[in-house]
Amino acid sequence: MKRFREKTVIVTGAGSGIGRATAIRFANEGASVVLVGRTAETLKETAKEFPEDRTWIHNDNYLTVICDISDQSQVQEMVRRVVEKFDQIDVLVNNAGKATQGKITELSAEDWKSSIDVNLNGTFYVCQAAMPHLIATKGNIVNVSSLSGVGGDWNMAAYNAAKAGVSNLTRTLALDHGPDGVRVNAVNPSITETNMTSAIQDSETKTNNFLDRCPLGRLATPDDIAAAITFLASDDASMITGVNLPVDGGVSASNGQPQF
């Protein structure tokens, strides 16, 4: 199924994990994909997974852009390059992020600033730069927030605050730009099998605690999250905007009490 034939899709943080799975999913569904990240080699590895039978769209149907999304000038240049090559932007997936651990008494000011800059400010910069082009195409945005942006988490003060900002920015953009024909949604994953997750301190303990509370009894995979993202970005979700969709195996269905 080619739901994104002749569509241009930007995926930030496309070099690994959820971003890589999402970029590959869009490519398999016919999109011209823009891979955005900070490391050229990881973006090239993602591109190697793209299908090779899509010359009916473009002879050169993807673009890699090295960009630090926390730098507004780099973001503006990235968007300029995308429009120069493909003439349009139809879907924006804001996936780039970082996990910063620590209680507020343990975090440095730089830890806090870095988390806000990447997770929240970066999302704002990319949305702002891309919005005029999305208005032109009646396109849409899917932000990758977190279940931590809906409810709190232990020992993740900066990350929780940043992702809560992403979740509420999503709602506000949906309200402001719905009249322009632009839909804006977010996915809110819980623990997902990625390198970023495995790098978190005490990740094995956190995973076991999660599985004790998860009705489906497993972690999400990047492909699970990519499937939700492409659904929200597709015409199948044409009446859905302003939603923060949990992709968490049912964890958020519980009120937190242990099973009796």
What CA–CA distance (Å, rounded) separates 114 from 73? Answer: 17
Q: Closest Cα partner for 62 from 92, 86, 78?
A: 86
What does the DSSP 8-state code read for residue 199? T
What CA–CA distance (Å, rounded) separates 116 from 61? Answer: 33
Residues 6 or more apart in contact with residue 121 via CB below 8 angstroms:
70
Q: Are 99 and 156 in contact (CB under 8 A)?
A: yes
Count of alpha carbons within 13 angstroms of residue 178, beta-carbon side = 12
Of 63, 118, 159, 251, the catalytic one is: 159
Active site residue 159: yes
What amino acid positions are annotated as catalytic residues?
159
